[in-house]
Structure 1
Amino acid sequence: MVCDRGVAEDSTSGGGAPSRQGRSLFYGWWIVIAGSALQLLHSALLGQAYGAYVVLLREDFGWSKTMLSAASSLREAENGIMGPVQGWLLDRFGPRAVARAGVVILGVGFMLFSRVNSPPTFFAAFFVMAVGASLAGYLTVTFAAVHWFERRRATAIALTSSGFALGGMAVPITVLVLDLAGWRTTAVLSGLVVLAVGLPLTQVLRHHPHEMGLRPDGDPPRATMREVEDGKPPLVFPPAPDFTLREALHEPSFWWVSLGHASALFTVSAMSVHLVSHLTQSQGYTLGQASVVVFFMTMLFLAGTLSGGVVGDRVSKRGLVVVCMGMHAAGLLFLAHAVNTWMIAAFTLLHGLAWGWRGPQMAALRADYFGRASFGKIMGVSNMVILLGTISGPLIAGYVYDRTGDYRIGFDILAGIALSGSIFFILARKPSPPARTA
């Protein structure tokens, strides 16, 4: 990947249109909007709606919580295993091509899901959806945001992540369609929506700002930032010390951030699968009432995401994440031992805000620590570590429920894991620039 950190070329070369950044919205923000919309589709139709599918699939087929949790874990396993490949594809072909392929695969996957009639067909269809959601999802849109922003990187990542929150707020609509039309018809309609809306959105994505004669954050070309005096050449800025994948893997901070991220996703992935079931079966909520809790939690996630991006660009990202992990742990304890509405409300507040504040910092920390040049590969390999949390979280909660008939012990275990994540992030100090011989 060519890194445009030295003196910029004349912005009129290569068919760019530099003047547009002075008279219209910086194109990077259009990429953020498109990425957010792609995340919204995935979140509303599958990511945060799967908990409602779990209730209906269990009613229709009598499948165990462990098996239904395993499907979510399969999705996350695919994300982790495919991470390095997806990172390479992004670095090689750019986010537009990768996202376009993902949208098509996800749409087809929903069609297959509507025909499920046995565990093998269920897992096969879910795997197809998982591949599509991964290629058109978080890593791809975050990759684009990282390349188009530097000073406002956390804000850009936060805004792309806000689509996931907005999708969660739309889950009650998905639940309504599930109640009225059934899960099979809902799956077909979801596939059609993904194709009709997702494909145009992928056309907005671009790889590098310099492809359009622009610079990150919409800044002017650096060669024009300082006047040439007395015939002297313009000031040349040395390249920033971006890490290669090999160099990043030798840094302890890579592993501490990855383990901390995994600790957070023990909680998030378990809630995406089991929260609705816990509220309906352990707390006596109706499916509609449970969806309202998800709605308010997602509103708080959205508020946290938007404010977390701004805060993350101004304070210590690592310190903010340490606090968030403690909030995740406290929220889970309230949920596990809830005996009244205010304890459910406390969980909703703590988990929603922590999720939102922490999320944008995960990719922003890695970009700040290791740079942009190999970001796709670094995030892809990191996903293999994150896999530990995304697979194990739902399985722990589901297994404990199947063994005890209650989620309490499982949620207590997950709270302890979340608290350990604070320690991992405390240890994740920014590495020194890589030492290279001339």
Structure 2
Amino acid sequence: MLKLDLHPDRLAVGNVGIHYGWVIVFVAAGMRLSASAVRSSFSILEPRLVESFGWSHFTIGVGLALQWAFGGIFGPVAGWLGDRYGVRRTMLLGALVFTVAMVMTSRMTEFWQLYLYYGVLLSFAMAIFQVPLTAAVTMWFQRNLGLGMGILQSSQGVGPLLFVPLVLFIISWFGDSESGMRVGQWVTGVQAEGQDAGLRAAFWVTGIAGGLALVVFVKFFYDEPAQIGLRPYGATGDEPIRRVHQGDTAQIRTKVFLNQAKHTSAFWNLMGIHFWGCAGHAILVVFLVAIAEERGLSKGAAAGVFVVMSVVSTLTRFGVPIAADKFGSKGVMAVCFFLQCAPLILLFFAHDIWTFYAFAVLFGIGFGG
């Protein structure tokens, strides 16, 4: 009979020991997924928001721009909270803010509410699940970090594969079912019917379910290996087991590192690359389905373009960190950014489904990187 030992410091399946760092990777990936249902499928929701609320693409785009902008502003705050109070506690705060933001977004009737709840408040929760979470995962590995980060990053690409069908089902069921509409009216306090009720449900259902899932995942998350008496994966047996993020020494080390890093060009270049890269592809990803529909594709075909792009980006999200470990990050980064730019030319001439799918494959490679 197969024996399982589920204690974190001696995790094993049969006679095979498993370092808890791999559990941390999958727990972190689960957190990313739990908090990204609507965000990863927003390209599907955007044209439906235009139809239901009568807002322009520009009005909705401003809400998305606010989320990206405030996500950057809240990034240092989220990092400070993780250092000051621990990643685990910060995650619980993030789960609470995430749920509140999603439920409040489901109650919106004016565009400024989209800006406040989805653009600003939700961005704080998303910053928590980007900055401290990623930093914490790196603490668990001295070897195979590229593989661990590849698994974590690929979870963002898996999101649309899982949630686009789920969100479409939620919109359909809560928009067509009398009982679903009644539940939605009770949760949101808004007398909504049809697609309007379904759209609101896409926010509050995934917000409440995602918040509960986040709380469960936090139970299995630890800030660093020494917290449960382990060394990082790949560390030698003679290395001491010590807490990195605890005590005065850790605070001094963090302060010295930041003071040195901010005076280097590499630090600011990386910030600029990440910001402008994300700003560029975020605009396209959000409006891709709307563009495809306006060029004559059906809603199903347009959603398929988005899903294909997500499938391809999932593969490259997994493979790029491993390739960067092997070949160096600069060359790999250059290829990925080139493939985020060059395929855009296809969109100027795309009117048939195959051109859109060709774009989805090529852009997906760069987007995943």
Shift of 1:286: 2.3
Q: For residue 278 of structure 1, give the secondary structure of its aligned residue in structure 2.
A: helix
Match of 2:289 in 1: 276
- Specify which of 105, 121, 132 is matched with residue 128 of structure 1: 121
Map of 1:355 onto structure 2: 367
The code of the aligned residue for 2:84 comes to R
Partner of 2:201: 185
Match of 1:342 among 334, 340, 354: 354
Distance 1:242 1:299, change over 3 A: farther
User: How many angstroms does 1:242 deviate by?
Assistant: 11
Q: For 2:327, what is the secondary structure of its paired residue?
A: coil
Partner of 2:245: none
* Alignment partner, residue 39 of structure 1: 32
1:205 and 2:221 aligned: yes
CA–CA separation in structure 2 for the residues paired with 1:144 and 1:329: 32
Q: Distance in 1 between matches of 2:288 and 2:172?
A: 18
User: Does 2:66 match 1:66?
Assistant: no
- With over 3 angstroms needed to count, the CA separation of the structure-2 counterparts of 1:158 and 1:247, relative to structure 1, is same
Distance in 1 (CA, whole Å) between partners of 2:219 and 2:281 is 30
Please tell me the residue identity of whatever aligns with 2:123.
Answer: A
Match of 1:263 in 2: 276
Query: Among 128, 144, 152, which residue is 2:144 paired with?
Result: 152
User: Which runs of structure 2 are paired with 1:287-326 in the superposition (5 Å)?
Assistant: 287-326=299-338
Percent identity over the alignment is: 24
d(CA) in 2 for partners of 1:69 and 1:286? 22
1:174 and 2:174 are equivalent in the alignment: no
For residue 105 of structure 2, what is the aligned residue in structure 1? 113
Question: What residue is the counterpart of 1:331 in the other structure?
Answer: 343
Equivalenced residue count is: 324
User: 1:150: Cα distance to partner?
Assistant: 3.0
Which of 229, 232, 251 is residue 264 of structure 2 equivalent to? 251
Matched to 1:145, the amino acid is V
Alpha carbons of structure 1 residues 264 and 80: separation in structure 2 relative to 1, 3 Å: same
Distance change in 2, residues 1:296/1:62 (3 Å): same
CA gap 1:79/1:39 in 2 versus in 1, 3 angstroms: same
Distance 1:20 1:52 in 2: 41
Instruction: Confirm whether residue 220 of structure 1 aligns to residue 236 of structure 2.
Output: yes
Select the structure with the greater relative contact order (CA < 8 A; seq sep ≥ 6): 1
Shift of the alpha carbon at 1:17? 7.6
Residue-by-residue CA offset, 1:104-158 (whole Å, 9 max, x unaligned): 11112111111111122222221322222322x2223211211112332222112
CA displacement at 1:19 relative to structure 2: 5.2
Secondary structure of residue in 2 paired with 1:215: coil
Which residue does 1:369 correspond to in 2? none
Structure 2: tracts of 5 or more residues without a match:
1-6, 175-197, 241-252
Normalised by the length of structure 1, the TM-score is 0.69
- Mapped partners of 2:255, 2:80: distance in 1: 17
Q: Is the 8 Å Cα contact of residues 32 and 145 (structure 1) preserved in structure 2?
A: yes
- Give the Å deviation of 1:192: 2.0
In structure 2, what is the Cα distance between the partners aligned to 1:176 and 1:331?
31
Question: In the alignment, is the contact (CA less than 8 A) between 2:157 and 2:310 conserved in 1?
Answer: yes
Shift of the 82–167 alpha-carbon distance from structure 1 to 2, 3 Å rule, reads same
TM-score under structure 2 length normalisation: 0.81
Query: What letter corresponds to residue 289 of structure 2 in structure 1?
Result: V
Aligned structure 1 segments of 4 or more residues deviating by more than 4 angstroms: 16-23, 240-243
